[in-house]
């Protein structure tokens, strides 16, 4: 077994570099190490200028998403032992502008997410005397998988439509819209339809399905989007075929 592993890391310093370049680092090989451990080693022992995001180290915070061997993965969830024998390519997430090194600009995503009102919109202001919301297990099951999203953005890196249509709301934002739409406590589906039913809402999706394949939390955004296409179609029929002033 080799005692070292080479990480080939994309570097980019906007103050110094016209464009990104690759830099090799030789790190110790430890069977239990994940890529995030190797990056920490680089920063602590080899090159303090390396910039990357990481926090919980347990696939919960969604910070450490990056391209590892050309696949969107969480650095804390990807073991070095699966990549021995050749240099391991580490790049920032595809389809996002690179701020610096492995850090991407997420602002576009955050705007898209905000536009989908990712919070419960209640039918009316609930008073304490009305008591808590009650939810049956079946009602919880209707939205629970979609609530597992950690906003790691691996799905955006995997989705070619995100690259082809930069205004596409994208898998995670649409999965979260669906999560709230399907929550029995929520009454905001029509408000979210402003975006979901718009050309760059669900309709930029062609069901490639890569999003659901790379999701580390099994959120299945592809399913959320296809189901939203069906409800959007019914809303369209209602708007276009029934009299009234719905746009």
Residues at the contact surface with another protein, assessed by CB under 8 A? 12-15, 19-20, 70, 94-95, 97-100, 105, 137-138, 141-142, 160-161, 163-164, 182, 193-195, 197-201, 203, 206-210, 212-213, 220, 222-223, 226-227, 229-230, 232-233, 235-237, 239-240, 246-247
Q: Which lies closer to another protein via its Cβ, residue 126 or residue 238?
A: 238
Q: Which lies closer to another protein via its Cβ, residue 76 or residue 201?
A: 201
What minimum distance in Å lies between the beta carbon of 212 and another protein?
8
What minimum distance in Å lies between the beta carbon of 220 and another protein?
7
What minimum distance in Å lies between the beta carbon of 91 and another protein?
9
Of 134, 135, 151, the closest CA to residue 143 belongs to: 135
Q: Which lies closer to another protein via its Cβ, residue 77 or residue 192?
A: 192
Q: Which lies closer to another protein via its Cβ, residue 43 or residue 235?
A: 235
Q: Which lies closer to another protein via its Cβ, residue 87 or residue 209?
A: 209
What minimum distance in Å lies between the beta carbon of 179 and another protein?
13
What minimum distance in Å lies between the beta carbon of 235 and another protein?
8
Query: With helix as H, strand as E and coil as C, how does the chain read?
Result: CCCEEEEEEEECCCCCCCCCEEEEEEEECCCCCEHHHHHHHHHHHHCCCCCCCCCCCCCCCCCCEEEECCEEEEHHHCEHHHHCCCCEEEECCCCCCEEECCEECCHHHHHHHHHCCCCCCCCCCCCHHHCCCCCCHHHHHCCHHHHHCCCCCHHHHHCHHHHHCCCCCCHHHHHHHHHHHCCCCCCCHHHHHHHHCCCCCHHHCCCCCHHHHHCCCCCCHHHHHHHHHHHHHHHHHHHHHCCCCCC
Q: Which lies closer to another protein via its Cβ, residue 133 or residue 207?
A: 207
What minimum distance in Å lies between the beta carbon of 236 and another protein?
4
- What do you get for the CA distance between the two ends of the chain, in Å? 65
């Amino acid at each position: 077994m080799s005692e070292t592993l080479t990480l080939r890391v994309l570097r980019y310093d906007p103050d110094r570099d016209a464009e990104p370049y690759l830099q090799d680092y030789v790190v110790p090989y430890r069977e239990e190490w994940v890529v995030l451990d190797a990056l920490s080693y680089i920063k602590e022992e080899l090159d303090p200028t390396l910039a990357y995001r990481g926090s919980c180290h347990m696939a919960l915070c969604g910070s450490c998403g990056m391209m590892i061997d050309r696949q969107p993965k969480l650095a804390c969830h990807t073991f070095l032992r699966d990549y021995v024998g050749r240099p391991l390519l580490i790049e920032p997430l595809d389809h996002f502008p690179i701020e610096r090194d492995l850090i991407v600009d997420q602002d576009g995503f955050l705007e898209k997410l905000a536009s989908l009102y990712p919070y419960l919109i209640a039918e009316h202001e609930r008073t304490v005397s009305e008591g808590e919301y009650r939810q049956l297990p079946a009602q919880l099951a209707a939205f629970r998988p979609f609530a597992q999203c950690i906003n790691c953005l691996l799905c955006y890196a995997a989705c070619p439509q995100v690259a082809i249509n930069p205004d596409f709301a994208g898998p995670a934002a649409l999965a979260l819209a669906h999560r709230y739409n399907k929550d029995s406590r929520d009454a905001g589906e029509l408000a979210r339809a402003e975006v979901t039913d718009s050309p760059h809402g669900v309709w930029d999706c062609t069901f490639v399905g890569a999003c659901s394949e790379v999701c580390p939390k099994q959120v299945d955004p592809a399913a959320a989007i296809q189901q939203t296409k069906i409800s959007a179609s019914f809303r369209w029929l209602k708007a276009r075929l029934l009299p009234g002033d719905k746009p």
